[in-house]
């Protein structure tokens, strides 16, 4: 129960590939010089500030995700329900009412976020396929808004239907209500990725799926991500999911949400089903689980003493 | 106008069609427990389903019961033998015997058509103006707040009291009838349309924003199509109510403007023809029902994704919209789509990126 971890001495080793162990790693000097894809500077969000029902969702969030050349990072935000994980995503997306932050700055590509845009695609937990559009029309919605002509949309749409594992012949003209949960999320992923966003925001996208489908979707996501250069922010409360998917995990506290710990994780080298049954993988998951318990306990003690 | 009606009455939640697997599961469970199934008790199960035949049969029983009571109350040769005198209520036989006279002498079909035309024109105008205004009210809360007082007045005004005013404003012709229907129903159309927009889940709008849609595109491509089934449903219910209002407008007459079912009732009243009044009272619901079913059919064909129908009208509409898009496309240059998939797939082999999903195990370093 002691995967190699080192929080303090920053070693320069690059993340190796394997069983999702925790890696002792921090930014190399070369990386520190790179521009940031996403940067949070002292970001807090308080709803109904100054009133009796004021609620602070996140407090003093600081992090940087560097723009690595030719390769995006998969960042998981792990925390209990209602800890402000979604607030972080929606701040990056620029969606009201989370946007704008109460204090601090959210920078994407070095510039403050002003409004939502197609460069930051988002996949939600709820099924958000447009009920009145077929699978093909759903997937090509963004292209339609850009003004791409219909024949081109159709071509690309079919390409992506196949690419996310749907059947172009049978599924393209179906309406969302004829699809299962997993298929709907495939549509949602294709709909975002067809626009080739720099950043993909995923808000517990597999939360409502059964474990089998969920693992299939995790594999799909990794394969799609590896061929794109996008940075993925993936919000989840499942430790297994975070350890399996992530390059980096941010562990968040209960509301008001703060980042308790940053963990680097080995990228996984095998499909979800093999990986998530392996004792060495489970060891890491257990380690993270205990770490969270310990961090929570420390937080409570700190609260009690102050 | 009853305010309790909900525009969603007939709209199943969008999740309704995919309930099929559950149904199948219920059927298979049915097979297993059939032996121990209790005997059928039609009034036992709360909200339990009954067959179409059963529905019709029970409805027929209801009609027969009313006819039987009517027949009992008006039984007898002479007025003295009856419980109710013929001046109060003619017997069923007398009433139905007068139907041919009503049909031919009073030109029933022509008058029904006149009434229907007035409602269709008046209500059509209300829908034409009310639906867009309502959608804009739903999209922009400030416009909604601006119109709110007007709508509250429009909704709570006693419609009958409007009739004298409409005579001053629109004279005594067809226009007055039409405008009366318009004024009586437009506020309801606006309110229901605004509510339909308000009920669209915000996550659709968020999704559209993150896919790069502009505000105008979200209104035309997301909000309007998603609100339309609910709006159409409430229009259908409101049409039934507007059809009731036309009687009011036709019964109150100045001068000699003529035509309409209300006109026949009015004339029959002066001549003491109770049978005509009764017959028309029976005919009106039948016409209303027929119109309602027609509108329901249109609704089903327009929104196949809610009702699981063939969607003929929807397909026709899609063809028209595509035609419009293609015509518009001739006048502007199409945008370039983002990088095609096949090209970007090659780039994933660039150094620094992780191994492909099917990367052989030998490539990976063991920790």
On whether both A158 and A239 belong to a single domain, the answer is no
- Mean residue pLDDT of chain B comes to 82
> What pLDDT is attached to residue A11?
38
pLDDT value for B363: 35
Confidence band (pLDDT; 50, 70, 90) for B107? confident
Which residue does chain B place closest to A191, by CA atoms? B211
Scanning A84-205, the segments in alpha helix (DSSP H) are: 85-93, 135-139, 141-146, 150-163, 168-171, 181-193
What is the model's pLDDT at position B38?
60
A191: in domain: no
- pLDDT for res B225: 95
CB pairs under 8 A between A and B: 163
Per-residue pLDDT at B18 exceeds 80: no
Q: CB B325 to CB A150 under 8 A?
A: yes
Q: What is the mean pLDDT of residues B116-140?
A: 96
The reported pLDDT for the residue numbered B19 is 44
| Per-residue pLDDT tens digits for A110-139 | 999 999 999 999 999 888 999 999 999 999
Within this chain, do residues A26 and A155 fall inside the same structural domain, yes or no? no
Q: Are residues A161 and A235 in the same domain?
A: no
Q: Are residues A119 and A142 in the same domain?
A: no
Calculate mean pLDDT across residues B108-122.
Answer: 92
Q: Is B346 on the interface with A (CB under 8 A)?
A: no
Residue A304: is its pLDDT beyond 80?
Answer: no
Number of H-type helices and E-type strands within chain A: 11, 11
Reported confidence tier of residue B23, pLDDT bands at 50, 70, 90? low
Please check whether residue B245 is in contact with residue B185, taking contact to mean a CB–CB distance below 8 angstroms. Answer: yes
Min distance A103 CA to chain B CA atoms (Å): 23
How close does chain A come to B337, measured CA to CA in Å?
Answer: 6
Tell me if A124 and B206 make a contact (CB, 8 A cut-off).
yes
- Per-residue pLDDT of B256-310, as tens digits, reads 667 888 888 888 888 888 899 999 999 988 999 999 999 999 999 999 998 888 8
How many domains is chain A built from? 2
The predicted structure's pLDDT at residue A278: 87
Q: What is the CATH number of the domain that holds A41?
A: 3.40.50.300
Look at residue A210 and tell me if it is in a domain. yes
> A-chain residues within 8 Å CB-CB of B15?
177
pLDDT band, very low/low/confident/very high, at A266 (cuts 50, 70, 90): confident
B205 contacts chain A (CB < 8 A): no
Question: Which of A148, A149, A152, A247 to mutate to test binding with chain B, by most B CBs within 10 Å of its CB?
Answer: A149
* Residue B222: closest C-alpha in chain A: A130
* Position A27 pLDDT exceeds 80: no
Question: Which candidate, A75, A11, A71, places its Cα nearest to that of A38?
Answer: A75
Residues A168 and A266 in one domain: no
- Which homologous superfamily does the CATH classification assign to the domain defined by B89-295? MetI-like (1.10.3720.10)
Inter-chain CB proximity A150 and B329 less than 8 Å: yes
What DSSP element (H or E) covers B284?
Answer: helix B274-302
A141 and A209, same structural domain?
no
Position B366 pLDDT exceeds 60 = no
How many other CB atoms are found less than 10 A from the CB of residue B287?
15
The pLDDT, as a whole number, for residue B172 is 82
Q: Are residues A139 and A50 in the same domain?
A: no
Better-predicted residue by pLDDT, A18 or B109: B109
| pLDDT at B87 > cutoff 80 | yes
- Asked, for residue A257, whether it belongs to a domain, the answer is yes
Q: How confident is the model at residue A210 (pLDDT cuts 50, 70, 90)?
A: very high
Q: Select the residue from B201, B207, B339 to test the A interface by mutation, using most A Cβ atoms within 10 A.
A: B207
Provide the terminal-to-terminal Cα distance of chain A, rounded to the nearest Å.
33
Q: What average pLDDT does range A253-264 have in this prediction? A: 88
pLDDT value at residue B226: 95
| For range B131-151, the mean pLDDT | 95
Q: Is the dihedral angle over the CA atoms B220, B222, B227, B229 positive or is it negative?
A: positive
Candidates A117, A141, A175; nearest CB to B305: A175
Would residue A184 count as lying in a domain? no
CA distances from B224 to B200, B221, B230 (A): 10, 7, 10
User: Does some domain include residue A1?
Assistant: no
CB spacing of A196 vs B222 below 8 angstroms: no
Is A3 contained in some domain?
A: no
Q: How confident is the model at residue B338 (pLDDT cuts 50, 70, 90)?
A: confident
DSSP state of B321: H
- Which chain B residues touch A160 with a CB distance below 8 Å? 341
Q: Which of residues 258-277 of B touch A (CB under 8 A)?
A: none
Q: Do the Cβ atoms of A177 and B342 come within 8 Å?
A: no
> Domain ranges in chain B?
89-295
User: What ipTM, to 2 d.p.?
Assistant: 0.89
Same structural domain for residues A99 and A135?
no
In terms of domains, do A155 and A120 share one? no
Contact list, A267 vs chain B (CB under 8 Å): 354
Query: Both tokens of residue A285?
Result: 């998951």
Average pLDDT of the residues of chain A: 87
**B115 vs A71, residue with greater confidence:** B115
Confidence band of B349 (pLDDT split at 50, 70, 90): very low
> Is the pLDDT score of A8 beyond 80?
no
CB-closest option in B15, B226, B334 to A149: B334
Instruction: Mark whether A41 and A64 lie in a shared domain.
Output: yes
Structural domain span for residue A148:
130-178
Q: Would residue A235 count as lying in a domain?
A: yes
CB half-sphere exposure, B229, CA atoms < 13 A: 24
Report the residue of chain B nearest A149, measured CA to CA: B334
> For position B257, what pLDDT does the model report?
62
Is A77 a domain residue? yes
Stretch 223-252 of chain A: residues touching chain B, C-beta under 8 Å: 223, 226-229
Name the burial class of residue A122, with classes exposed (0-12), middle (13-18) and buried (19+) by CB atoms within 10 angstroms of its CB. Answer: buried
Residue B3 is encoded by which pair of tokens?
Answer: 């305010």
């Amino acid at each position: 129960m002691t995967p190699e971890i080192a929080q303090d001495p920053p070693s320069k080793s690059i993340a190796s590939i394997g069983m999702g162990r925790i890696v002792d790693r921090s930014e190399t000097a070369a990386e520190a010089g790179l521009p940031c894809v996403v940067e949070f500077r002292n970001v807090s969000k308080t709803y109904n500030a100054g009133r009796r029902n004021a609620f602070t969702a996140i407090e003093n969030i600081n992090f940087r995700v560097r723009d690595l050349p030719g390769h995006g990072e998969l960042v998981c935000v792990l925390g209990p329900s209602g800890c402000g994980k979604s607030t972080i995503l929606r701040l990056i997306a620029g969606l009201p009412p989370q946007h704008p932050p109460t204090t601090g700055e959210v920078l994407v590509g070095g510039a403050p976020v002003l409004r939502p845009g197609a460069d930051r695609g988002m996949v939600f937990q709820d099924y958000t396929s447009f009920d009145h559009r077929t699978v093909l029309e759903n997937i090509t919605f963004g292209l339609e808004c850009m003004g791409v002509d219909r024949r081109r949309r159709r071509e690309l749409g079919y390409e992506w239907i196949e690419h996310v594992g749907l059947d172009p012949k049978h599924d393209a003209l179906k309406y969302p209500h004829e699809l299962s949960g997993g298929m709907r999320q495939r549509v949602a992923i294709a709909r975002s990725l067809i626009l080739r966003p720099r950043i993909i925001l995923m808000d517990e996208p597999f939360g409502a799926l059964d474990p089998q489908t969920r693992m299939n979707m995790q594999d799909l996501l990794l394969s799609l991500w590896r061929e794109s250069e996008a940075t993925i922010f993936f919000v989840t409360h499942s430790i297994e999911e975070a350890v399996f998917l992530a390059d980096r995990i941010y562990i968040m506290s209960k509301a008001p949400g703060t980042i308790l710990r940053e963990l680097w994780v080995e990228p996984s080298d095998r499909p979800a089903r093999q990986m998530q049954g392996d004792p060495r993988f489970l060891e890491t998951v257990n380690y993270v689980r205990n770490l969270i318990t310990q961090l929570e306990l420390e937080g409570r003690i700190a609260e009690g003493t102050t | 106008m009853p305010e309790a009606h909900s525009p969603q009455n007939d709209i199943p939640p969008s999740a309704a069609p995919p309930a099929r697997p559950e149904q199948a599961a219920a059927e298979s469970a049915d097979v297993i427990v059939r032996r121990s199934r209790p005997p059928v008790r039609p009034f036992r199960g709360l909200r339990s389903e009954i067959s179409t035949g059963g529905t019709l049969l029970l409805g027929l029983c209801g009609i027969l019961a009313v006819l039987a009571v009517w027949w009992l109350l008006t039984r007898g040769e002479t007025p003295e033998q009856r419980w109710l005198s013929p001046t109060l209520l003619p017997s069923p036989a007398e009433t139905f015997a007068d139907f041919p006279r009503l049909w031919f002498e009073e030109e029933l079909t022509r008058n029904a058509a006149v009434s229907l035309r007035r409602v269709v024109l008046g209500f059509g105008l209300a829908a034409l103006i009310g639906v867009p205004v309502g959608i804009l009210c739903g999209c922009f809360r400030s416009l909604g707040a601006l119109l709110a007082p007007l709508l509250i007045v429009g909704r709570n005004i006693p419609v009958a009291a409007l009739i004298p005013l409409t005579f001053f404003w629109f004279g005594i012709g067809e226009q007055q009838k039409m405008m009366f229907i318009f004024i009586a129903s437009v506020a309801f159309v606006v309110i229901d349309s605004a509510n339909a927009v308000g009920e669209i889940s915000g996550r659709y709008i968020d999704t559209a924003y993150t896919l790069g849609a502009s505000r105008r595109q979200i209104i035309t491509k997301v909000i309007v199509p998603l609100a339309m089934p609910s709006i159409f449903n409430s229009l259908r219910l409101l049409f039934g109510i507007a059809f009731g209002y036309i009687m009011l407008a036709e019964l109150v007459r100045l001068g000699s403007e003529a035509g309409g079912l209300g006109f026949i009732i009015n004339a029959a009243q002066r001549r003491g023809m109770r049978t005509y009044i009764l017959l028309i009272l029976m005919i009106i619901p039948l016409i209303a029902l027929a119109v309602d079913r027609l509108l329901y059919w249109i609704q089903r064909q327009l929104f196949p994704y809610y009702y699981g129908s063939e969607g003929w009208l929807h397909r026709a509409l899609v063809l028209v919209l595509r035609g419009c898009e293609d015509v518009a496309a001739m006048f502007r240059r199409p945008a370039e789509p983002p990088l095609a998939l096949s090209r970007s797939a090659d780039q994933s082999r660039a150094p620094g990126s992780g191994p492909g999903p099917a990367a052989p195990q030998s490539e990976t370093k063991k920790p």
